[in-house]
Structure 1
Amino acid sequence: MNSSPGPQSGHRVFLLRLVLILAVLAVWELLARWKIIDTFFMSQPTAILLDMVDAFRSGEIIPHIVVTLKEALAGLLIGTIAGILSALFLEKMDVAARILDPIIMAFYGIPKLALGPIFILWFGLGIESKIFLAALMVYFLVLFNAYAGFKNVDQSLVNAVKLMGARNRQIMLKVVLPSSIPWMLAGIKAGLGAALLGAVVGEYIGANSGLGWMVEYAGGMYDIARVFTCIIVLMLLMAALNSALGVFERRLLKWRPAVE
């Protein structure tokens, strides 16, 4: 029996999700109108909607979205490549993996927010420092997932291919990498949010453009509606990027049998 949800179930989930969001917004709006919450600190949905329309109509927010997307996607690409290559090296060099494991975990435990000022000092206020911070946040997530994927490859399958005369390069390309793709995609999916977070944090610490800079500037001007506008745009960007990655994942893994 096929246990995957059908189209009707998917539509029902979407409608329930939409109803929940609208209900939260309605309660928020009513509490603001009834003066139960202070709009100076919380704003209200209608004010945020008007501010968002104004920000897009004037074109003010679009260049900042482009900057943040460039930083996040560049960081995601660099961090993913570096993480996969590092995982391959550690999987092949077991002694190096044992030596470097505590060192990698120590670096991973450093709060990335604390490194932001250092990167800005090294690379300046431009896009480079934000890309580096985003790449660093992605790197560890992809590294851990890719390394786990390489270690969990079915050794009986590898041995069978070896008996058929396959070389190490063929084993890597035909067995190890395809078997590890789901693990790597899981790391990339987690790294997507980390890349966006790294870019925004870098902009918040020091920048002259980007959505993080807009949040910091609007907060300093007590423009709470603009702060929420930027937050909602970031949420929508994350949702769109995650959906695009989901489509890519389904196409890349279409060879896998469906779960029954």
Structure 2
Amino acid sequence: MNNDKPGRFRGRIIIGQIALLLLILGFIEYAVRQGIIGSLYLSEPTRVIKEIILLFTQGELFHNLAVTLQEFLAGYLLAAVAGIGTGLLLVLIPRAETFFGPFLSSLMAVPKVTIIPLLMLWLGIGLSHKIAIVFLFCFFTITYNTITGVKQTAENHLKVSRVFKASKMQTIMKVILPSAAPTIFAGLRVSAATGLVGALFGEMIASKDGLGNLLVKATSLYDTAKAFAIITIVTIVSVLIIVLIDLLEKKVFLKWKSS
């Protein structure tokens, strides 16, 4: 009986969340239809759903979504490899952290928006431009989360590895990375969302394809329903990416950690 209580509570929470969401959407639908809120500022949820269906059926969505995901995945994977590698090196080589730390902090403090026009001059407006933007949006978060996670490795665990005469690589793979993994994955989740925003931002500034370009076209034509449809799709994609990262942590990493 006691085992059923958490499940029932979770079920009630989900039902409550769905009810609240339907209530908000219902209020928006009523407010826009009655003219309380202008259709220029908000769109009826039913119209947004119709626009999502149109985007899928007309084939306009798939090409642009593929472009955005290509830009995001390339920049994100580069940032993940570079960020985790940089974080590990800076902690494992204390003098390197002392020397390069101020430079890294200064670069992170530079507003990314101010660099994007320079990236256009250096890289043009093609794929490499968007990949560089995604990289900048993700790299620093992953790096600093890696540094924090590695520094939180228990000293007792490191002592045990030294007692068993583990090599440097064994210590990193079997002690340091498993200990730092929760913090690293937290950084990967946060940077996944910001990286997708970076890809869209780059497309909105200068691009002929991608979801960001679609969004700019919709807003320039004051097509509020289509704009909200694209925003909804981007939100769903972002959630799915975070779910995939969670699955990677649970199904792959935890098995590797336990082994």
Task: State whether TM-score is above 0.5.
Answer: yes
In the TM superposition, residue 255 of structure 1 has moved relative to its aligned partner by 7.3
SS at match of 1:139: helix
Q: Alignment RMSD, CA only?
A: 1.9
Residue equivalent to 1:124: 124
Residues 79 and 142 in structure 2, CA contact (< 8 A), matched pair in contact too: yes
**Identity within the alignment, %:** 29
Residue equivalent to 2:215: 215
In the TM superposition, residue 254 of structure 1 has moved relative to its aligned partner by 5.1
The count of corresponding residues between Structure 1 and Structure 2 is: 255
Residues 125 and 208 in structure 1, CA contact (< 8 A), matched pair in contact too: no
Residue equivalent to 1:240: 240
Task: Give the TM-score normalised by the residue count of structure 2.
Answer: 0.92
Q: Does 1:84 align with 2:78?
A: no
Distance 2:127 2:69 in 1: 11
Distance 1:235 1:24 in 2: 17
Residues 178 and 257 in structure 2, CA contact (< 8 A), matched pair in contact too: no
Residue equivalent to 1:150: 150
Distance 1:9 1:124 in 2: 53
In the TM superposition, residue 11 of structure 1 has moved relative to its aligned partner by 2.5
Distance 2:160 2:41 in 1: 64
In the TM superposition, residue 73 of structure 1 has moved relative to its aligned partner by 1.5
In the TM superposition, residue 6 of structure 1 has moved relative to its aligned partner by 3.5
Residue equivalent to 2:254: 253
Residues 116 and 201 in structure 1, CA contact (< 8 A), matched pair in contact too: no
Deviating runs (4+, > 3 A) in structure 1?
A: 254-257
Task: Give the TM-score normalised by the residue count of structure 1.
Answer: 0.92
Instruction: Give 5+ residue unaligned stretches, structure 1.
Output: none
Alignment of 1:1-260 (within 5 A): 6-251=6-251, 252-253=253-254
Deviations 1:144-202 (A, max 9, x none): 01111111111121112211222222211211111111111111011110110110011
Residues 71 and 199 in structure 1, CA contact (< 8 A), matched pair in contact too: yes
Amino acid at match of 1:111: P
1:131/1:220 CA distance change after superposition, 3 Å: same
SS at match of 1:222: coil
Instruction: Give 5+ residue unaligned stretches, structure 2.
Output: none
Distance 2:121 2:85 in 1: 28
